[in-house]
């Protein structure tokens, strides 16, 4: 197995692990390099949103991968990465959690209906293929319930226990290494099947909003490229980007 997490660059406070890891990648850092921060002053999430967590309460990490793939082969990987993070957290914490970790397309982790973790993937490619992947992972670990918005949760809020950030980091990296190896050697099928098995709102009516456009339908699956499959009145539609919400419920 390809171990991830070395070299490890730790910062007490940094604008964003994404930027620091990209700098290291451009300087030729090897696959497996990670940047971890106690606090981010300009943390960011999907869709240009900001990602804010109290100091030393969350796992804030970017992981450098250098898969020998064509850019289009990478499209299912954000889902598989989210799956690996969920499995890694459960390997450490699972017995204490009140419920299984669910996955919300494309790569959010939810537990008891609240967001526990977000994953942000950025990749740089050239004509020769993928140059590097910067996989950003933010897990709410020891944030107290009263400091979280109603839509979010943390491992501490879910389990009434304080968790070691380093132990969660190691568990996530170990599972990510397994799923990454499987993805590169065997393709995305097994990871995507395991992803859909945990998918929030599967076989329910959902809405996908993407820059002002809304598509509604029944969430019936994901394609081999990681696109979401909706059964709509017009037939099966494949959605590659957007924000997923539940509903409307059938009358």
Binding site for ligand BTN (CB under 6 A): 16-18, 40, 43-46, 49, 51, 60-62, 108, 118-120, 136-138
Residue whose structure tokens are 């950003």: 136
Q: What is the DSSP letter of 142?
A: S
Smallest distance, ligand BTN to C-beta of residue 216, A: 22
Least distance to ligand BTN, CB of residue 239, Å: 17
Angle at 34 between CA 31 and CA 39, to 5 degrees: 160
Q: How far is the CB of 186 from ligand BTN (least distance, A)?
A: 27
Place of tokens 């490890």: 8
Spatial separation of the C-alpha atoms in residues 117 and 239, rounded to whole Å = 22
111, β-bridge pairs: 114
Residue closest to ligand BTN, measured at CB:
118
Under DSSP, the state recorded for 41 is S
Q: How far is the CB of 70 from ligand BTN (least distance, A)?
A: 25
**CA distances, 143 to each of 62, 88, 105, 136, 172 (Å):** 20, 19, 24, 19, 18
With respect to ligand BTN, which residue has the nearer C-beta, 20 or 179? Answer: 20
Which two tokens mark 180?
Answer: 């990454």
Q: How far is the CB of 103 from ligand BTN (least distance, A)?
A: 12
DSSP letter (8 states) at residue 229: E
Helix (H) / strand (E) containing 137: strand 129-140
Q: Nearer Cβ to ligand BTN, position 49 or 100?
A: 49
- Looking up tokens 């002002």 gives 212
Give the number of other Cβ atoms within 10 Å of residue 22's Cβ. Answer: 19
């Amino acid at each position: 197995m390809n171990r991830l997490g070395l070299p490890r660059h730790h910062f007490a406070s940094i604008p964003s692990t994404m930027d620091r890891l990209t700098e290291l990648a451009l300087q030729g850092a090897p696959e497996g390099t990670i940047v971890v921060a106690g606090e981010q002053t300009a943390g960011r999430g999907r869709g240009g949103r900001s990602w804010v967590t109290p100091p030393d309460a969350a796992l804030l990490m970017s992981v450098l991968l250098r898969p020998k793939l064509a850019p289009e082969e990478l499209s299912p990987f954000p889902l598989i990465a989210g799956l690996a993070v969920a499995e890694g957290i459960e390997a450490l914490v699972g017995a204490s959690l009140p419920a299984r970790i669910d996955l919300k397309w494309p790569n959010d982790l939810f537990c008891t209906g609240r967001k526990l973790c977000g994953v942000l993937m950025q990749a740089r490619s050239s004509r020769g293929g993928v140059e590097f992947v910067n996989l950003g992972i933010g897990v709410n670990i020891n944030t107290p319930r009263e400091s979280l918005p109603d839509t979010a949760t943390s491992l501490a809020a879910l389990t009434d226990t304080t968790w070691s950030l380093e132990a969660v980091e190691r568990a996530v990296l170990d599972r990510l290494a397994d799923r990454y190896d499987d993805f590169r050697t065997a393709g995305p099928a097994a990871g995507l099947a395991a992803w859909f098995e945990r998918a929030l709102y599967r076989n329910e009516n959902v809405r996908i909003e993407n820059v002002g456009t809304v598509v509604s339908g029944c969430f019936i699956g994901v394609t081999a490229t990681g696109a979401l499959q909706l059964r709509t009145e017009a037939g099966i539609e494949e959605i590659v980007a957007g924000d997923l919400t539940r509903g409307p419920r059938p009358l």
